[in-house]
Amino acid sequence: MKLTKNKLEELIYELSKTPFVNEKEWNDRLRVTDAFRKIKENKEYTTALMTHYSFRNKNLNKIISEITKRDISEALSLHTIEAYPPESTREHMDAFSHLTLNILLEDDFEGGYIYINGEKINGLRERGDYLMYNGSKEPHSVTPVIKGKRKSLIVWYGRKRELI
């Protein structure tokens, strides 16, 4: 899937205005899942730069909700991953992410192929390309970046809330 050029530029602009996650928000996220502690402290999945953002930008939240068709209140994490040679992400699952949104923000790189369920995904190569998958059930990884910078916006959503 691919965002329009205008929608991608709007998303990047809003992301640039979005504050980083503060300590209170981080601690609230830790209450939901211990996976954030592993990401922050151990770099268990990747050595790439991870930047965590707040959910306080209503315009960005709206854009993301339009893409995922999910309410942003169900989101667990909003972060970017910047990978430079020879960084990669080992195969893993996203613990509590029942929906993972991955939007490619930079495309001036070589290597850095994403694999889901052991299969190479050919569609995440140009700015604005995105995919959604069940991060808690589908193992995924990114091969080493060989040249340039690979940058993605990642949003994790928890299990969809259902009314009884």
The domain of 58 spans: 5-156
Domain for residue 162, yes or no?
Answer: no
User: Which are the contacts of 63, defined by CB distance < 8 A and separation ≥ 6?
Assistant: 7, 10, 11, 14
CA dist., res. 164 & res. 157, Å (int): 20
Examine residue 163 and state whether it is found in any structural domain, yes or no: no
Report if residue 146 sits inside a domain: yes
Which whole-number Å values give the CA distances from 126 to 18, 48, 52, 64, 120, in the listed order? 23, 19, 23, 18, 15
- Count of domains in the chain? 1
CA distances from 62 to 9, 48, 86, 151 (A): 14, 27, 34, 21
Could you say which residues of the chain have pLDDT below 70?
Answer: 30-45, 161-164
Q: Is residue 161 part of a domain?
A: no
Angstrom CA distances, 10 to 3, 7, 31, 44, 102, stand at 10, 5, 32, 32, 16
Is 56 a domain residue? yes
Show the tokens assigned to 105: 């923000």
Q: What percent of the chain has pLDDT over 90?
A: 71
Q: Which residues contact 130 (CB under 8 A, 6 or more apart)?
A: 1, 2, 3, 67, 101, 102, 103, 104, 124
What pLDDT score does 164 carry? Answer: 46
Give the tens place of pLDDT for each residue, 94-111: 878 899 999 999 999 999
Residue 80 placed within a domain: yes
61 domain residue, yes or no: yes
How does pLDDT run across 21-46, given as a tens digit for each residue?
Answer: 988 887 777 665 555 555 554 455 67
Residue 21 lies in a domain: yes
pTM of full prediction above 0.85:
yes
Q: Tell me, what CATH number does 91's domain have?
A: 2.60.120.10
